[in-house]
């Protein structure tokens, strides 16, 4: 069977590149886009190539970056602009194929197998996209071209910025097997440590391991990683209009000061639940459970979850169930640095558990009508147009 032609498009230094378009006088200076230091999100989110040459790294604290590069210019993120440019980039991709799968705000996979008769080879299409992005958006992109998604992603990482890299069946062993094992998609820090503890340092090393040892070390994930290294990734490119039902939807927050009492948590849970249920309403989905995430002031992380006997997309119900779970499992032995609420076991309307319309469920039906009205108003006039009084500070 003929190989697929998959591209992975990665917008270079995306946050920094977009921010510099609106601050052109800074283009020759080391620049980093960083989170809000006052709200304790003071880390590097992105940096330009000049800052990178000083050793500035993504996710390090601002003071660490400044120690390496005292002249570093700090910019605040502008997420609206980033979303706008992300959508513009996807519009460019869609000129060449309708098979576009987002992988974060600045990366996408494209299946251009059916586009070659119109636009040329995968490499030619990649080069055309690279030029379109640079000419029309003013930012650069790196593109990997291969016969599967994993190798295409590796290709886009190999040459940056503004480059195209082809990884074919003929050259993948030569190009990929000598790379560090950490470069392989889905090999995180802990997985990398486990592999290195067994002498597996490169991607090629994985291919030499027997399946039994890999499964003992990493479970089923070990077998998958070996298949990826051998070029046996057959996962399809899933267009974003065909995305599967998400398994969970959540929101968390690190505030300017610690949470010190239940009232603080209840207020943010109401806000989080409204955000989550707006998305559930929008997609016609229902939650079958709730998960609570907390991080203490000493950075200890804990999670608790509870499965419902029903499904819901009512914000007050989700908030109450989450708060009940929180109170059951935490008594403020120490302040909390951050909290999170997540709807889990999400189902479509066709598989949601229908409620009995008697007793307590009459109240739920009334609450559902109220929540539908709240969602309609927020959708029409904006998310800030209607809030629960308790959440207004």
Q: Give me the CATH number covering residue 268.
A: 3.30.1490.100
Confidence of residue 230 (pLDDT cuts 50, 70, 90): very high
| Residue 56 domain-assigned (yes or no) | yes
| pTM of this prediction exceeds 0.85 | no
pLDDT, residue 356, reads 41
- Examine the domain organization and report whether 169 and 220 are in the same domain: no
Q: Where residue 218 sits, what CATH number does that domain have? A: 1.10.150.20
pLDDT over 70, % of the chain: 85
Higher local confidence (pLDDT), 119 or 39: 119
Among residues 39, 62, 77, the one where a domain terminates is: 77
Residues 130, 214, single domain; the answer is no
Q: What angle (nearest 5°) sits at the alpha carbon of residue 253, between those of residues 252 and 258?
A: 135
Give me the percent of the chain exceeding a pLDDT of 90: 60
pLDDT, mean of residues 218-241: 89
pLDDT at 4 over 50: yes
Query: Is 236 within the bounds of a domain?
Result: no
pLDDT on residue 355 = 47
Under the banding of pLDDT at 50, 70 and 90, the label for residue 150 is: very high
Residues 274 and 337 in one domain: yes
Q: Please tell me whether residues 107 and 153 are part of one structural domain.
A: yes
Q: At what angle do helices 315-329 and 360-381 cross, to 10 degrees?
A: 110
User: Helix 315-329 and helix 262-283: axis angle, to 10°?
Assistant: 140
* Residues 250, 354 within the same domain: yes
- The pLDDT value recorded for residue 367 is 58
Q: Is the pLDDT of residue 261 over 80?
A: yes
Whether residues 315 and 364 share a domain: the answer is yes
Q: Does residue 240 belong to any structural domain of this protein?
A: no
Q: Give the pLDDT band of residue 337 (cuts 50, 70, 90).
A: confident
3-state secondary structure 119-143: HCCHHHHHHHHHHHHHHHHCCCEEE
pLDDT digits (tens, 9 = 90+) for 87-143: 999 999 999 999 999 988 899 999 999 999 999 999 999 999 999 999 999 999 999
Res 357: pLDDT? 36
In which residue are the tokens 């009205």 written? 373
Quickly state the pLDDT bin for 390 (edges 50, 70, 90): low
Q: Same domain for 375 and 288? A: yes
Residue 362 above 80 pLDDT?
no
**pLDDT score of 387:** 59
Per the model's pLDDT, the better-predicted residue between 153 and 218 turns out to be 153
Domain boundary among 229, 263, 298: 229
* Residue 1 counted as domain residue: no
251 and 357 in a single domain? The answer is yes
pLDDT grade for 1, boundaries at 50, 70 and 90: low
What is the torsion angle, in degrees rounded to the nearest 10, for the CA atoms of residue 135, residue 25, residue 107 and residue 171?
Answer: 70
Rounded Cα gap, residues 179 and 324, in angstroms: 49
DSSP three-state, residue 344: strand
Q: What CATH number does residue 40 fall under?
A: 3.40.1170.60
| 3-state SS, residue 152 | helix
Cβ–Cβ < 8 Å for 265, 259: yes
Q: In terms of domains, do 48 and 100 share one?
A: no
* Mean pLDDT confidence for 60-85: 92
Q: Is residue 382 part of a domain?
A: yes
Last residue of a domain, one of 77, 94, 115: 77
Which residues are designated catalytic?
Answer: 107
Instruction: State residue 306's pLDDT score.
Output: 92
Q: What is the CATH number of the domain that holds 112?
A: 3.30.70.270
Q: Looking at the predicted structure, is the pLDDT value of residue 66 above 80?
A: yes
Residue 62, domain extent: 23-77
For the chain, report the end-to-end CA distance as a whole number of angstroms: 62
Question: What residues form DSSP beta bridges with 333?
Answer: none
* CB 207 within 8 Å of CB 177: yes
- If you write DSSP's letter for every residue of 51-71 in order, what string do you get? HHHTT--TTSBHHHHHHH-TT
Decide if 380 is inside a domain. Answer: yes
- Number of neighbouring beta carbons within 10 Å of residue 157: 15
Q: Write down the pLDDT at residue 278.
A: 87
Task: With cut-offs at 50, 70 and 90, classify the pLDDT of residue 385.
Answer: low
Residues 256 and 387 in one domain: yes
* 308 has a pLDDT exceeding 60: yes
Tell me if the bond preceding 12 is cis, omega within 30° of 0. Answer: no
218, 135: one domain: no
Which pLDDT band, with edges at 50, 70 and 90, does 381 fall under? low
Residues 108 and 169 in one domain: yes
pLDDT digits (tens, 9 = 90+) for 106-119: 999 999 999 999 99
Does 237 fall in a domain? no
Q: How many domains does the chain have?
A: 4
| pLDDT mean across residues, the chain | 86
What's residue 243's pLDDT?
55
Q: Is residue 239 part of a domain?
A: no
């Amino acid at each position: 069977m003929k190989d697929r032609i998959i591209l992975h498009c990665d917008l270079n230094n995306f946050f920094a590149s977009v921010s510099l378009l609106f601050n052109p006088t800074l283009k020759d200076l080391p620049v980093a886009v960083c989170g809000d230091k006052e709200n304790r999100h003071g880390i590097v989110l992105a940096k330009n190539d000049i800052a990178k040459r000083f050793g500035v790294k993504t996710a390090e604290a601002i003071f660490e970056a400044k120690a390496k590069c005292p002249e570093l210019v700090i910019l605040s993120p502008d997420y609206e602009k980033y979303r706008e440019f992300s959508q513009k980039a996807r519009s460019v991709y869609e000129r060449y194929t309708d098979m576009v799968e987002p992988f974060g705000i600045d990366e996408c996979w494209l299946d251009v197998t059916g586009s070659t008769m119109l636009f040329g080879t995968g490499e030619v299409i990649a080069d055309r996209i690279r030029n379109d992005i640079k000419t029309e958006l003013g930012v650069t992109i790196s593109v990997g071209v291969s016969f599967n998604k994993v190798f295409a992603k590796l290709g886009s990482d190999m040459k940056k910025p503004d480059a195209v890299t082809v990884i074919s069946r003929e050259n993948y062993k030569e190009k990929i097997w000598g790379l560090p094992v950490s470069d392989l998609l889905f090999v995180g820090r802990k997985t990398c440590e486990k592999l290195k503890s067994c002498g597996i340092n490169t991607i090629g090393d994985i291919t030499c391991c027997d399946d039994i040892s890999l499964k003992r070390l990493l479970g089923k994930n070990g077998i998958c990683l070996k298949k990826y290294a051998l070029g046996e990734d057959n996962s399809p490119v899933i267009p974003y209009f065909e995305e599967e039902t998400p398994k969970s939807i959540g929101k968390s927050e690190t505030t300017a000061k610690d949470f010190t009492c239940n009232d603080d948590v209840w207020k943010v849970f109401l806000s989080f639940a409204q955000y989550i249920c707006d998305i559930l309403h929008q997609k016609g989905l229902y939650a079958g459970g709730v998960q609570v995430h907390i991080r203490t002031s000493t950075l200890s992380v804990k999670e608790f979850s509870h499965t419902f006997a029903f499904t819901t997309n009512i914000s007050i119900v989700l908030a109450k169930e989450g708060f009940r779970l929180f109170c059951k499992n935490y008594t403020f032995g120490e302040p909390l640095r951050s909290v999170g609420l997540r709807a889990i076991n999400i189902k479509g309307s066709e598989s949601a558990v229908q409620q009995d319309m008697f007793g307590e469920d009459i109240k739920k039906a009334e609450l559902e009508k109220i929540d539908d009205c709240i969602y309609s108003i927020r959708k029409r006039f904006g998310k800030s147009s209607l809030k629960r009084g308790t959440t207004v500070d």
